Amino acid sequence: MSIPPIPPPLEHLGSRKFSFYPPILNIESNEWRYLKATWSEILVANLHSNQEIWVPRRFLGEVSRIDDPVLIVGLNKELEFSMGRVWPHRRHVIEMPVAVNQGPSPMPARPSEQKGPAAVVGIRLESTDAKAGKMVIGLVAVAVVGCLVLAMIARQSQFHQRVAYTSHDQSYFGLGHDDDYYAVTRALGSPASERSSPESGSIQFRALLYPKRGYTVILFGKDRKSLLYIGAIDEQCNPIHSISYSDGTSSGAMLRNIGRMIGCSMK
């Protein structure tokens, strides 16, 4: 039984740089420096990336006696770097595809018996990167469709909100700055409830709540006897109708202040 030759020691290399032949796959630079060794492996460092890897001694071959242009350390197998280690490189064998319901291929005819050119069978190779790319494209497509669905749902929700808002009763448009409490109740009916400012306060107002109509009518004046219509606010204290004055201002700011004072409650 033959015993494989013992790989040559590399301790004598010291700090001299060398290259593996054949080069280790998946590593760009092929310039190395010896670091240390054990009984089964040697540790080398790549001069460009400073990456350190262990190479099993059983893969080491002869060391060249000259180093012009570079010292060569032979490898008895083609190696590749993967998952932090070096492994023997395996070349994948591509199997010819077989058509459906096709039996074993017949023996090729002798050259004298061939009547035409040999048929060419197309081979389609699909790498792991191609499969990963298709998977990424599929995920991106699913994400885009999901975003479109969410956007459509949000848009429909906003549309329904706008429809609900604009479908509220808008009878307040028929009211003006000369209308008092009795004019408002004749146009809109009696309010469900009322809110009023304290009689001793500097601001006098009267809020007439119409929850079924979806808004509150505000009357404002110097005293309780001179309260007149200045506009209407919705359930969120937003003015939905205000009065414009001759000086270019409007009652919008006053409506907001009164809305905050009454809490914009429709109960």
Per-block average pLDDT, block size 10, for the chain (267 residues)?
A: 59 84 92 91 92 92 80 91 88 66 60 60 62 82 84 66 54 89 94 88 88 93 90 91 89 90 71
Asked if 84 and 69 count as a contact pair (C-beta separation under 8 A), the reply is: no
Task: List own/partner pairs for 178-187 with CB under 8 A and 24 or more apart.
Answer: 178/228, 178/229, 179/228, 179/229, 180/219, 180/227, 180/228, 180/229, 181/206, 181/208, 181/219, 181/227, 183/229, 184/208, 184/217, 184/219, 184/229
The pLDDT assigned to 164 comes to 44
The pLDDT assigned to 84 comes to 85
The pLDDT assigned to 243 comes to 92
The pLDDT assigned to 106 comes to 61
For 206-228, write each residue's pLDDT tens digit: 999 999 999 999 999 988 888 99
Asked if 207 and 216 count as a contact pair (C-beta separation under 8 A), the reply is: yes
For 3-36, write each residue's pLDDT tens digit: 555 556 677 777 888 999 999 999 999 999 999 9
The pLDDT assigned to 12 comes to 78
Q: What is the pTM of this model?
A: 0.38
For 85-94, write each residue's pLDDT tens digit: 888 988 766 6
d(CA 54, CA 138): 39
Count of CB atoms situated within 10 Å of the CB of 224: 14
β-pair partners for 250? 244
Q: Which residue has the tokens 């790319």?
A: 133
The pLDDT assigned to 229 comes to 96
Tokens, residue 228: 């007149």
Pairing of strands 60-63, 32-37: unpaired
